[in-house]
Each structure stands twice: as C-alpha cells, then as structure tokens.
Amino acid sequence: MKNRALIVSVENFYPGADLSRRSGVKKDTQRLHKILTKLGFSVEIKIDIEAEEIYEAFKAESEKTVKDCFMGIISTHGEEGVVFGADGRAVKLSEIYGYFRSPTMADKSKLFLIQACRGHGLDVGVEVETDSSSSKEEDGMSEIFSIPIDTAVMYATPPGYAAFMHPTGAVLIQTLCNLLEMEGAPDLEITKLLTRLNYQVAYNFQARGEKFGGKKQMPCIVTRFTREVFPFSRTAAAEDLSSTFAATKLIDEPTRLRKSSII
C-alpha cells in the first residue's frame, strides 16, 4: 500500500465561464507527478474537469485506503472559500475537506495545497496575479472549521489576496518542487518543510513587469496536525520501492528460461 496524491489542475475554462486560461499549469502538474512518484506516492491527475467532477474525485479519494498520507493539490482560479471547475462553477473547499473526516482517513495524515486566489488584493509585501475570480466571510470561516484533525492546508495566499500564476509555473508549486529535490528536505517534518516553503516564496520571489512589478507573495498555512508527520521521507519511499522490487522478483523468479529486461 502506498501514500496517494490527487492533482486537480484547471488550465482551460469553458467559453461561458468568463475565466482566463492559466498558462503554466501543465509544467506544474508534470513536475509534481514526477517528484511525488519518486517519493513513493501513487499519483492521479485530473485535468480541466467540471466542479461536480472535482467533488466526485475527492469524495472517491476519501473512501480509499492509504498507507500513511493523502495529498490533494488543486490548481485553478478561486475566491475566498471556493475554487472553480472548468465550467466556471464554484467548489466549496469546506465540502472537500469535510469528505476526509471519513472513517477510512481517521488516523491518516492529510495535506492539501491550494494554488488559487482568495480575492483580488495586491500587497507590496505579500503577493499578486490572476488566479482570482468576491469573497464571503462565512465561507472562509466554514472552510477553516471543516478542516479535519491531522490535516494541514497550504494556501498560495492569505484571505483576500490574489496569487501568482506564470507560464513557467506557479511560484508556490515550483518552489515546493525545488525544495523536495534538495538533499535532506524531503526528510523534514512537514511543518518545518512548509515553513521553509513560506520563507522561500516570501523572501526570494518578487513579481516583474509594469503592472505587478515589485509585488510579493506570502503563502498561508493552516494546520491541525496532532503529531509529527514525515510524508515525503525518502526512507519510506525507498522501502516502498524495495517492496515493489521484491514482489516483482518473487513473481518473475520461477520463470528462469526468459531473459530479464529493463526499459
């Protein structure tokens, strides 16, 4: 059994949705898939799906067994408390998080990464862009209260602010990928890793261009973990790969007449 990750990425929206195309989504998705797979996760990707399909995808994941940790990544346009499907309809994050109160996930670690705006604000010392589409205060509160125990959520931005998206990828996702490729970083306890991610984005990123030049981005972490969690540990990933190799060896061993090959 492996840890699992679900990546929901929306790049293109229906013509009637009045939401702009999000260049860079494919780069984020491909890189996340590659890195998380190396770290022992079983990764499923959903591209340009409608709001109802987003609900269905996370509901299904909440009912499956997992080794230690589930990771959900949503990259799309958003407002405070909601993200948008390809059809332009809103998906309440509180409902997504609520699914993971299921008995199947009761003793498992849950980690969500939300690459989406939470408003339209631009801050000289915080952040910017157009992953935004207005916000209702009650949605934000119900969202926070809906987060299950032993769950952390990393938002690209604080409430009320917009988040950067770039043709080379989102600064939050690309910075996370950079960290996970650094020696020793995957073995960090998750809150330490996310704190480093906050630091890297807040102090090393600054928007360029006439419109957004000088603007910053500050991610936001909400955690309800009650224990230390190491979801990206290379030791655990190596054990998963070792057990997979061992199982493959047991299956292939009786067939000694056939030459083995590696592709």
Please tell me the distance from the alpha carbon of residue 259 to that of residue 55, in angstroms, as a whole number: 46
Q: In b/e form, how buried is each residue of 194-212, taking b as 16+ CB within 10 angstroms?
A: bebbbebbeeebebeeeeb
Length of the chain: 263
Q: Is 33 a catalytic residue?
A: no
- The helix or strand, by DSSP H or E, that contains position 91, with its residue range, turns out to be strand 90-92
- Identify the active-site residue in 33, 69, 77, 120: 77
Q: Is 177 a catalytic residue?
A: no
Sheet holding 69-75, edge to edge: 41-47, 3-9, 69-75, 109-115, 151-155, 220-223
- Identify the active-site residue in 117, 166, 177, 220: 117
Cα 22 to its chain centre, rounded Å, is: 16
Please tell me the distance from the alpha carbon of residue 134 to that of residue 6, in angstroms, as a whole number: 27
Phi first, then psi, for residue 78 (nearest 5°) are -160, 175
Residue 24's nearest CA partner among 155, 163, 158 is: 163
For 64, which DSSP code? S
Provide the annotated active-site residues. Answer: 77, 117
